[in-house]
């Protein structure tokens, strides 16, 4: 593994690892937590529509569910094509024919920026495998709220299991590097006033890429300041969908939430 690829063999996996697999010609990746014995706990939208945006465009997006309706159901998992929420699958169903990659934690800012594609690493540090497995198992039973492509997706689930960190604001609860990269690219293309400082193609490219890198960096869970470490039991008690304001208010007065996210 390195800057060029996070690909890993199954034999090298350890329980508590955050793994992912690219879907549909690297358009996006599906993420989960490897729990051992060839099993993965992951967060999915019903019917496998992990990149559904609720518009007519969804009709042209292929399903990324672990078990596609047109395929014979897995002997180990059964038919999971219509399941949504936090589920457990065998690693073959999770990969859905794709390659296996390991998400990296505790990387340096330079390494983070060298990985031009988001959703592959973070500056934040991982907790111990025991804590990670506890969170994943607890959420398998209790859920992780409603799936949302930009605010609460499969990568958000895996990052929370690994770090316990949540972005607590009244606008969103999001941690996803993939979503941050998409928004950073959009911002760099359409809203950068700095693009008017140069007229050359190389200058425009440099300015745009600089804006993209800066936006990705400041959006990383290991850098941003609007982050709290939330115990999984409290997360489920308050609720992912209706309790954002409550978590935000509690974070100001309740010492049971131990610390803010790491920043640089």
State the catalytic residue, choosing from 18, 31, 42, 68.
42
Contacts of 158 (CB under 8 A, 6+ apart): 18, 20, 31, 32, 33, 42, 43, 103
pLDDT digits (tens, 9 = 90+) for 179-196: 666 665 565 555 555 555
Length of the chain: 264
Closest C-alpha among 84, 90, 98, 91 to residue 22? 98
- Residue 125 lies inside a defined structural domain of this protein: yes
Residue span of the structural domain in which 134 resides:
10-163
42 is catalytic: yes
- Residue 84 lies inside a defined structural domain of this protein: yes
* Sign of the alpha-carbon dihedral angle for 209, 210, 211, 216: positive
- Residue 135 lies inside a defined structural domain of this protein: yes
Model's pTM, two decimal places? 0.78
- Distance, CA of 47 to CA of 63 (rounded, Å): 7
Mean pLDDT calculated for residue range 102-123: 91
> Where is pLDDT greater, at 224 or 187?
224
- Residue 140 lies inside a defined structural domain of this protein: yes
Mean pLDDT calculated for residue range 77-92: 89
Highest mean pLDDT (candidates 102-106, 237-241, 243-247): 102-106
93 is catalytic: no
- Distance, CA of 43 to CA of 85 (rounded, Å): 5
- Residue 207 lies inside a defined structural domain of this protein: no
- Residue 57 lies inside a defined structural domain of this protein: yes
- Residue 56 lies inside a defined structural domain of this protein: yes
Domain count, the chain: 1
- What pLDDT is recorded for position 56? 42
Count Cβ atoms below 10 Å from residue 111 Cβ, excluding itself: 14
Q: Is residue 36 within 8 Å of residue 42, measured between CB atoms?
A: no
State the catalytic residue, choosing from 30, 31, 68, 148.
30
pLDDT at 54 over 60: no
- Distance, CA of 143 to CA of 46 (rounded, Å): 13
- Residue 214 lies inside a defined structural domain of this protein: no
CATH code of residue 159 = 3.90.1720.10
Mean pLDDT calculated for residue range 37-45: 94
- What pLDDT is recorded for position 51? 55
Average confidence score pLDDT of the chain: 77
Which SS3 state, helix, strand or coil, does residue 40 take? strand
30 is catalytic: yes
State the catalytic residue, choosing from 77, 90, 121, 154.
154
pLDDT digits (tens, 9 = 90+) for 113-168: 888 778 899 999 999 999 999 999 999 999 998 888 878 889 999 999 999 998 87
């Amino acid at each position: 593994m390195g800057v060029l690829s996070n690909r890993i063999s199954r034999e090298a996996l350890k329980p508590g690892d955050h793994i992912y697999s690219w879907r549909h010609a690297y358009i996006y990746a599906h993420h989960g937590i490897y729990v051992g014995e060839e099993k993965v706990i992951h967060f999915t939208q019903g019917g496998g529509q992990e990149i559904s945006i609720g518009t007519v465009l969804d009709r042209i997006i292929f399903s990324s569910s672990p078990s596609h309706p047109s395929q014979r159901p897995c002997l180990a998992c059964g038919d999971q094509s219509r399941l949504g929420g936090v589920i457990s699958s065998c690693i073959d169903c999770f990969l859905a024919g794709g390659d296996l990659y390991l998400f990296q934690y505790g990387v340096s800012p330079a390494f983070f920026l060298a990985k031009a594609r988001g959703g592959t690493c973070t500056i934040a540090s991982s907790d111990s495998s025991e804590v990670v497995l506890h969170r994943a198992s607890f959420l398998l039973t209790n859920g992780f709220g409603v799936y949302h492509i930009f605010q609460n997706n499969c990568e958000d689930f895996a990052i929370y299991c690994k770090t316990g960190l949540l972005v607590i604001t009244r606008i969103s609860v999001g941690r996803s590097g993939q979503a941050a990269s998409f928004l950073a690219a959009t911002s760099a293309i359409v809203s950068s006033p700095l693009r008017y400082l140069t007229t050359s193609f190389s200058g425009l490219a440099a300015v745009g890429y600089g804006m993209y890198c800066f936006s990705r960096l400041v959006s990383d869970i290991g850098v941003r300041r609007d982050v709290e470490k939330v115990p999984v039991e409290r997360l489920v008690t308050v609720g992912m969908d209706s309790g954002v304001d409550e978590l935000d208010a509690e974070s100001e007065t309740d010492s049971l939430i131990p610390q803010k996210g790491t920043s640089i």
